[in-house]
Amino acid sequence: MTSPLTLAEQLKKEHESLSPAERRVSRVLIADYPVAGLEPVHRLAERANVSAPTVLRLISKLGIGSYPQMQKLLRQEISVRTSSPLEMYGERSASTTLGPQSGIKFVADSKRVLAEGLDATFNAIPETEIIEIAKLIANPRNRIWTVGGRFSDLLAQYLTLHLRLLRKDVNHVDPTEQEKAFTLLDFTSRDVLIAFDYRRYQGGTVSFLKNAKHKKATTVLFTDPWLSPAAKHADYLLSSSVTSPSPFDSLTSGFALVETVIAGVVEELGDSPTQRIQAFDALQEKTLQIPGFGPGDDAETT
């Protein structure tokens, strides 16, 4: 069964249907998630510069019975948000029954869980958000940077390798604090930072986005349904399911979002990258050519 959407995912999904005042509340909630929603209703209303009834109308529109109920849901999310692989291992052990069919069952469970994660991810994200990010990346005036964490850097590098084939000025930032500092030195308003940060969030990534914003860079964040603290510094936000058949969070849905953004960039650029890809293939062929076995070379005889 698919996990219910987090409050943040519901807000993103319903964004287009909200009134201007409700959108202000939504932006405040997401910008300081989940802390803003744990404050008294009048404080949240003040932050969004709306009335308390506007906040309550938004909560009702999301199908939540009351403001205290929303806060209860947020507290439950916080508990899940801070789960470690060790805790998840314990939950798995308590719910797993080993037996003759266990080897078959885990394959079926994996297929189901990962498929549900993909469905939940795409159902919760407005298509307009993905389209805007693709346009941002495809804009030749922008300089693109990617960064990730311990595991999520795989996503950052994967995106970088594809984008380098499609356009110039694409850079991957090594996730060390020194390299991030050097990168920040030259950030300007033409830079776009694409960061990946999932639960057990990394303070270095949060600080990097914050400082990039101070340098006027545009920031894009890929994160989980509970939102990294870096979300408050992100101009664009894509969250994906991390539900997994193992005790470790899955990046399957994250990869799917990256693939979708790449497809969007290809759509935006059209045929323009073909010469670049052809040139890359030719250079790679020259680089990998073994002396004596390349085109036009005769094999060595004895």
pLDDT tens profile 201-253: 999 999 999 999 999 999 999 999 989 999 989 999 999 999 888 888 899 99
Q: What is the pLDDT along the chain (302 residues), one digit of tens a residue?
A: 456 788 988 888 888 888 999 999 998 998 888 888 999 999 999 999 999 999 999 999 998 989 999 999 988 888 777 665 555 555 554 454 444 455 568 888 889 999 999 998 998 888 899 999 999 999 999 999 999 998 999 999 999 999 999 999 999 999 888 999 999 999 999 999 999 999 889 999 999 999 999 999 999 999 999 899 999 899 999 999 998 888 888 999 999 999 999 999 999 999 989 999 898 888 888 776 666 555 555 444 44
pLDDT score at 93: 47
CATH number at residue 171: 3.40.50.10490
Q: What is the pTM of this model?
A: 0.77
Domain carrying residue 224: 127-283
**236 is a domain residue:** yes
pLDDT score at 158: 97
pLDDT score at 116: 92
C-beta of residue 83 within 8 angstroms of C-beta of residue 232: no
My answer on whether 263 and 137 are in the same domain is yes
Measuring CA to CA, how many Å separate 205 from each of 10, 85, 158, 176, 282? Answer: 25, 20, 18, 10, 37
C-beta of residue 204 within 8 angstroms of C-beta of residue 228: no
pLDDT score at 267: 95
CATH number at residue 26: 1.10.10.10
pLDDT in tens, 35-67: 889 999 999 999 999 999 999 999 999 989 899
Task: Tell me which long-range contacts 174-177 makes (C-beta under 8 A, separation of at least 24).
Answer: 175/147, 175/148, 175/149, 175/150, 175/202, 175/204, 175/205, 177/204
Neighbours of 26 (CB within 10 A): 21
pLDDT score at 302: 41
Q: Which amino acid is at 254?
A: G
Size (the chain), residues: 302
Domain finish residue from 23, 54, 81: 81
**132 is a domain residue:** yes
**235 is a domain residue:** yes
My answer on whether 15 and 154 are in the same domain is no
Q: Which residues lie below 8 Å from residue 100, measured CB to CB, with a gap of 6+?
A: none
My answer on whether 154 and 276 are in the same domain is yes
My answer on whether 151 and 50 are in the same domain is no
My answer on whether 55 and 144 are in the same domain is no
**58 is a domain residue:** yes
Residue by residue, DSSP assigns 179-237 as: HHHHHHHT--TTEEEEEE--SS--HHHHHHHHHHHHTT-EEEEEE-TT--GGGGG-SEE
My answer on whether 73 and 194 are in the same domain is no
**Prior bond of 68 cis (ω within 30°):** no
214-249: b or e for each residue (b if 16 or more CB lie within 10 Å)? eeebbbbbbbbbbbbbbbbbbbbbbbbbbbbbebeb
pLDDT score at 234: 93
pLDDT score at 15: 82
**143 is a domain residue:** yes
Q: Which residues lie below 8 Å from residue 137, measured CB to CB, with a gap of 6+?
A: 144, 163, 167, 192, 194, 261, 265, 268
My answer on whether 138 and 249 are in the same domain is yes
C-beta of residue 20 within 8 angstroms of C-beta of residue 13: no
C-beta of residue 235 within 8 angstroms of C-beta of residue 194: no
My answer on whether 133 and 275 are in the same domain is yes
Alpha carbons 253 and 264: distance in angstroms, whole number:
16
C-beta of residue 210 within 8 angstroms of C-beta of residue 235: no
Q: Which residues lie below 8 Å from residue 160, measured CB to CB, with a gap of 6+?
A: 146, 170, 171, 172
Residue 191 bridge partners (DSSP): 143
My answer on whether 245 and 132 are in the same domain is yes
**291 is a domain residue:** no
My answer on whether 155 and 77 are in the same domain is no
**89 is a domain residue:** no
The distance from CA 293 to its chain's CA centroid, rounded to whole angstroms, is 45
Count of structural domains, the chain: 2
**290 is a domain residue:** no
pLDDT score at 104: 64
My answer on whether 138 and 233 are in the same domain is yes
My answer on whether 158 and 63 are in the same domain is no
